[in-house]
Amino acid sequence: MRGKAFDSSAMFFAAFAASTWTVTTQYSSSIDLKAADIDEFNPGTVKFVMTGATSGGSATILLALQDSADNSTFNAVTPMGITSAAIAFDDAQWRDGLRFTLPMTGLRRYVRLAVTVGTAVLTAGVVNAGLVK
């Protein structure tokens, strides 16, 4: 089965070094949904992939989608429940990549990911995350 390729104009994280992530919340680049030509019939799927991850302990990761009208003030998108549970970084879900579809309506113009690392720092790994159709 073929996977969808990332479009460079719709990347949240592009080969980002996870080893810089401490026990805090990291924010991705934002994507302008108008520029990405998002439509309500095919809003797209967010794909988050972390490869080669290691931790100084038993790190957990919480992934949340945020939106903004002005690309400055972001709020969590909660009506659709687009927030993962805290997942251990070595869980099979990370190896396979996390995916979720954007809501068909109600999103403001800009979206980004908030990635909260808990328990222990990440010491290695590469993160790629983007919007695919």
Domain CATH number, residue 92? 2.60.120.1110
Residue 96 lies in a domain: yes
Residue 119 lies in a domain: yes
Q: What tokens does 32 get?
A: 């302008």
Residue 82 lies in a domain: yes
Mean pLDDT score of the chain, rounded to an integer? 80
Q: In sequence order, what are the beta bridge partners of 50?
A: 127
Helices marked H in the chain: 92-96
Q: Between 100 and 4, where is the model more confident? A: 100
Q: Give the closest residue to 132 by CA, choosing from 108, 99, 95.
A: 99
Q: Between 90 and 70, where is the model more confident? A: 70
Residue 123 lies in a domain: yes
Per-residue pLDDT of 50-69, as tens digits, reads: 888 888 888 888 888 999 99
Q: What tokens does 14 get?
A: 């592009």
Q: Give the closest residue to 133 by CA, choosing from 13, 36, 30, 32.
A: 36
pTM comes to 0.83
Can you list the positions of beta strands (E) in 18-133? 25-27, 31-32, 45-55, 60-68, 75-76, 87-88, 98-101, 110-118, 122-132
Structural domain for 96, as ranges: 14-132
Q: What is d(CA 48, CA 70) in angstroms, rounded to the nearest whole number? A: 24
Q: What is the pLDDT of residue 80?
A: 47
Looking at the 3D structure of the chain, how many domains does it have?
A: 1
Residue 1 lies in a domain: no
Residue 6 lies in a domain: no
Q: What is the pLDDT of residue 1?
A: 36
